[in-house]
Structure 1
């Protein structure tokens, strides 16, 4: 009996130790994939950004200079059609694209406005081709904006966000609890939105760098006394035609209101007839 009692006690002690070891191992596994606190994550992001900005990787290739070029031109011409043909030739030679074309007339001038997108490498050549034959520019404004620092800053922040996304994806593969998985996926969604926003900003800047915008306005001055050249007979004929058109408009307007004319005539007839009866009775 004594041996049986000692064996029972030994068995209980051994089973208790094994359960405690299993519990400790399980807690260690959970803690190994536990999600970092939000404050720590933000601190890591700031630390990564600061380290990149203050001590850049000197071994990385130097980024090409990014410059946005724009131009605005305004000048007078003797022939709008010939000037437009010259601009079209410059557009074809510079592999450019006309994205807006408008024309009009105001007091004393006939004008035409063009907006052209030109590949940046052909910008100078395009401006020179347009300037041929122009004696004087009323407006010639050419600007160049260096956005290289914006490119470097956006690129560094984008790389930082992508590295942070990779960390969360690694943690997600090890997570076991539903609450941890949901929290990690939430953080990944936020980071993905920030990555897409920065990629959009980089794409917008790259488009402005790769294609320059050129606004061209050219006009022709009309003669102030151009009407003197018209003969007297032509003026009379023009007046006759104008009167005929006015009469036609008047007749058309009468036809459009014919129901009201009929009603007015019927009422006038009955009123007149009634007055005649009254006179006869009196």
Structure 2
């Protein structure tokens, strides 16, 4: 009996020690887990210079700025034309021109008159709505005189207009970002640096907006340069220029007179053909008369 009791006591004691050790291990593990859940202390704050902030924000802007949505932009076509017309009387042609301009809802932008010993010229720059450009050109071509020269050009500026519009939108985004940075600037140096960037952006935006306005104006209103030309009749007696020019005029008048006389004789060629026939008939008549 004694022999059996001693091993049982030892076994019971060992089991109790083992359970106590397990409880102790569990307690230690719970403490370690709770320590792991505590967040680590934040790192010490560092002062960042404003120049580095500007660079960082610029890089951030570069990542966020994207081209605006692909809105459909209508075709931008600039039409220009030049016409030179020879007319009989300047005043009459000018009145006809005014009527044609009003009919096509156009207006005369510039007007210049030149009067020389050789000719009279009236230079007109006419701005006309894009849709009425062809009608205006046809009215001058068919209406007031003889067309000496005519040229029409069409320039497609859609690509340029789109490019300027996209860049303008991006510059406005940059400008707003810089203004936000200016409100958070802490030193005078930083403020001056940001203000300089804002000033440069504002200048670039003004240039881009001016370019778009110019393109819109040229697209909406086409330009026609019109020259009304009247040649004067010159003579050596009425010319008020120097002797050399007057001598040249006299020589030219003599040559022109000879050419006019020669062309006048040629204009009688049907009658010239009758002369040999008349001579032949007259000779036959003479021969027949002598035989009688």
TM-score bin (small chain): 0.5 to 0.7
Q: Which has the larger radius of gyration?
A: 2
Distance 1:48 1:68 in 2: 35
Matched, 1:84 2:94: yes
Q: Which of 96, 119, 124 pairs up with 1:114?
A: 124
For 2:153, what is the secondary structure of its paired residue?
A: strand
Asked if 1 retains the 8 angstrom alpha-carbon contact of 2:93 and 2:144, the reply is: no
Matched, 1:195 2:194: no
| Shift, 1:111, TM fit | 2.5
- Runs of 5+ unmatched residues, structure 1: 1-19, 229-282
Distance 1:107 1:48 in 2: 69
Q: Which of 78, 81, 87 pairs up with 1:68?
A: 78
Matched, 1:173 2:183: yes
Distance 1:179 1:105 in 2: 65
CA distance 1:42–1:225, shift in 2 (3 Å): farther
Alignment of 1:1-282 (within 5 A): 24=44, 27=46, 35-37=53-55, 41=58, 52=67, 57=69, 60-133=70-143, 136-224=146-234
- CA deviations 1:178-229 (Å, max 9, x no partner) are 333332222212211111121122222222222222111122233346979x
For 1:37, what is the secondary structure of its paired residue?
A: helix
Distance 2:218 2:59 in 1: 32
- CA deviations 1:62-112 (Å, max 9, x no partner) are 101111111110121223222211110111122222122222333443322
TM-score by length of 1: 0.60
Asked if 2 retains the 8 angstrom alpha-carbon contact of 1:34 and 1:180, the reply is: no
Distance 2:86 2:60 in 1: 61
Asked if 2 retains the 8 angstrom alpha-carbon contact of 1:67 and 1:145, the reply is: yes
Asked if 1 retains the 8 angstrom alpha-carbon contact of 2:88 and 2:145, the reply is: no
- CA deviations 1:244-276 (Å, max 9, x no partner) are xxxxxxxxxxxxxxxxxxxxxxxxxxxxxxxxx
Aligned Cα RMSD in Å? 3.4
Distance 1:145 1:188 in 2: 35
Distance 2:118 2:49 in 1: 82
| Shift, 1:42, TM fit | 7.5
> What is the count of residue pairs matched by the alignment?
198
Distance 1:73 1:188 in 2: 47
